[in-house]
Structure 1
Amino acid sequence: MRLDDFDPNDVDVEDQRGKGGGFGGFGGFSGQGFQLGGGGLGLGTIALLMVGAWALGINPLSVLGLVSGAGQQGGQQAYAPAPQRAPVESGKDAASSCTVDAFSKESCNALSSLNKTWRTLFTARNHSFDKPRLVFYAQRGSSGCGAAQSAMGPFYCPADQGIYLDTDFYREMEQKLGAGGQFARDYVIAHEYGHHVQQLLGTSSKVNRLQQANPDQANPLSVRLELQADCYAGVWAARNKDRMEAGDMESGLNAAHQIGDDVLLKAAGRTPVEAAFTHGSSEQRMRWLRKGLETGDPGQCDTFKASSL
């Protein structure tokens, strides 16, 4: 996508790179709900497959056999070593934090565009809007939901309305998951942003209550939440289609395919079991991303209809 450079006055950015991260308890990383005729969101990280692995501080890609467990330090390091980069002090302003490297700038450009798009949508429907904070960290950091660790992948923390990102995840996406390209990376940010816009309207809180009351439905509800986030990511892209370039849609759909629960499990030599899915199959993720891309209407993202899956 040919996005405008970020507006430093319209992005809320925190940089924890170069700062020792906390090792607090791993909080519940559940995305929250957005309702403009739709439902809610769910466990807020693109790479989520096994919450238990995360809770133990284990890289889920390692558990699945997609990356080597060697090189992890106490289960904290998620990815193969990346090229060294200069430390960035926490508290740097957005202009500095967003220009550390190309991935940081891409992420801030996407964040700025997402703010503009969703603010317009919320205002048109007389809903109050608060932009989220984008928090960069390297390998480990801290969030309002507990420790931030690279093994978690990108995630949204409802407690502090932060989108947490170790940009090394993008290298892992391309090298290990075969999901490269700028729009694939934009999709990651847009998906997590979907968790935020849903948080603003409380749909996910309702879903969380349903999950607590019906534990046997926790995973199916999580799938519906995550698929809605995929649809919302597509809505953002559709409303900026004049910025899309040839191959962008294919790049995004490929990323959605590669992070489907069934594809990741098969890649690990495991038999996919639908009851264990938390994010949805590749077909489901591609279908709902495409629906958002084709309609540009968040009201079409109701994954909670009985027949929607």
Structure 2
Amino acid sequence: MQWFGKGSGKIEDRRGMSGGAIGGSLGIIVVILGLFFGQDLTGLVSQLPLGEITQGTPKTGDPTDKEAKFVDGVLASTNQVWEKQFQEMGKTYEEPYLVLFTNNVQSACGNASAAVGPFYCPSDHKVYIDLSFYQELQNRFGAGGDFAQAYVIAHEVGHHVQNLLGISEKVQRARAQLSEKEYNKLSVKLELQADFFAGLWANHAQGLKDFRLEAGDLEEAITAANAIGDDKLQKQAQGEVVPDAFTHGTSAQRMYWFKKGFDTGDFRQGDTFNSSQL
């Protein structure tokens, strides 16, 4: 994947502002449970013992290091794609901010440790990521590569799209009326739709003059989607698979919906809530 354009102008660089983190086996468990969980995990995270959050002023402007410049470019690309998609729906797109942090961070959804992985907070419309997560993605889950990294950002921006369209709010309202088992099914549909939106972004991003897919890029994203399926993560963590506890979808489902978004590029094809494929 190559990006030749300008940054998004929507980066908050808080790296070096935070102290302390969750460590040991607890941190590893949260990493496994928290991958791509989006907004729901922050309630759990805020109750975990974190180090003291130090005060400071985030850096603004274009980042200068390679890793940060890359995610900034991906964010700029997602903003271009979704702005056009919203225009076609007769709506106005609000660009999210992407917050870079180390160890832990304070969001409008509560305190969060880097151990939870990337997440989106609907209360402040920001995506949060500690870039060391990408090392974890490659070393622990065998899902390296720049396009796998781009998929992470695009998935979280997918949650932002759901938030702007009121989809996330509907799911949250239903939570109080459903059993945990039934709510988990809704959570799976929400996450799979975010995977679809990530694929849709990749489809339309190919038409941007500043973006270029390279050989092997699509396979990197598919590998990442496969690595973080609920069934695979549960098997690795506890030696058995418990379908009623799924919150994100199986590896097969995650690969299917990302690929469907990539192949069709059609927003109307991403209604996971009424699909016979689930």
Q: Is 1:22–1:147's contact at 8 Å kept on the other side of the alignment? A: no
Q: Is 1:93 matched up with 2:91?
A: no
* Residue among 11, 34, 58 paired with 2:9: 11
Mapped partners of 2:121, 2:193: distance in 1? 17
* Residue among 81, 88, 92 paired with 1:124: 88
- Tell me the SS of whatever aligns to 1:164: strand
Encode CA deviations 1:246-287: one digit per residue, 9 max, x unaligned: 101110000000000111122224211110011110000000
Encode CA deviations 1:86-140: one digit per residue, 9 max, x unaligned: xxx7332221xx22x3221111000000111100110121112110010010011
Q: Is 1:46 matched up with 2:30?
A: no
Compute the TM-score of the two structures, normalised by the length of structure 1.
Answer: 0.77
Q: Is 1:265 matched up with 2:234?
A: yes
Mapped partners of 1:20, 1:109: distance in 2? 25
- Tell me the SS of whatever aligns to 1:174: helix
Q: Is 2:36–2:119's contact at 8 Å kept on the other side of the alignment? A: yes
Q: Which residue of 2 aligns with 1:223?
A: 188
Q: Which residue of 1 aligns with 2:223?
A: 254
> Following TM superposition, by how much is the alpha carbon of 1:308 offset from its aligned partner in structure 2, in angstroms?
2.9
Compute the TM-score of the two structures, normalised by the length of structure 2.
Answer: 0.85
Q: Is 1:6–1:113's contact at 8 Å kept on the other side of the alignment? A: no
Q: Is 1:119–1:129's contact at 8 Å kept on the other side of the alignment? A: yes
Q: Which residue of 2 aligns with 1:201?
A: 165
Q: Is 1:20 matched up with 2:18?
A: yes
Deviates more, 1:242-251 or 1:272-281: 242-251
Q: Is 2:10–2:97's contact at 8 Å kept on the other side of the alignment? A: yes
Q: What are the within-5 Å matches in structure 2 for residues 123-142 of structure 1?
A: 123-142=87-106
Q: Which residue of 2 aligns with 1:81?
A: none
What's the RMSD between the two structures over aligned residues? 2.3
* Residue among 158, 183, 198 paired with 1:233: 198
Q: Is 1:261–1:282's contact at 8 Å kept on the other side of the alignment? A: yes
Q: Which residue of 2 aligns with 1:303?
A: 272
Q: Is 2:191–2:249's contact at 8 Å kept on the other side of the alignment? A: yes
The count of aligned residue pairs is 256
Return the structure number with greater relative CO, CA threshold 8 A, min gap 6.
1
> Following TM superposition, by how much is the alpha carbon of 1:299 offset from its aligned partner in structure 2, in angstroms?
1.1
Letter in 2 for 1:205: E
Gapped regions of structure 1 (runs ≥ 5): 24-42, 58-73, 77-88
* Residue among 115, 118, 126 paired with 1:154: 118
Gapped regions of structure 2 (runs ≥ 5): 22-32
Distance 1:204 1:22, change over 3 A: farther
Letter in 2 for 1:90: T
Q: Which residue of 2 aligns with 1:290?
A: 259
Mapped partners of 2:224, 2:20: distance in 1? 30
Mapped partners of 2:204, 2:129: distance in 1? 24
Distance 1:116 1:306, change over 3 A: closer
Q: Is 1:44–1:192's contact at 8 Å kept on the other side of the alignment? A: no
> Following TM superposition, by how much is the alpha carbon of 1:146 offset from its aligned partner in structure 2, in angstroms?
0.7
Distance 1:171 1:44, change over 3 A: closer
Mapped partners of 1:229, 1:44: distance in 2? 15
- Tell me the SS of whatever aligns to 2:176: helix
Letter in 1 for 2:112: A
- Tell me the SS of whatever aligns to 1:177: coil
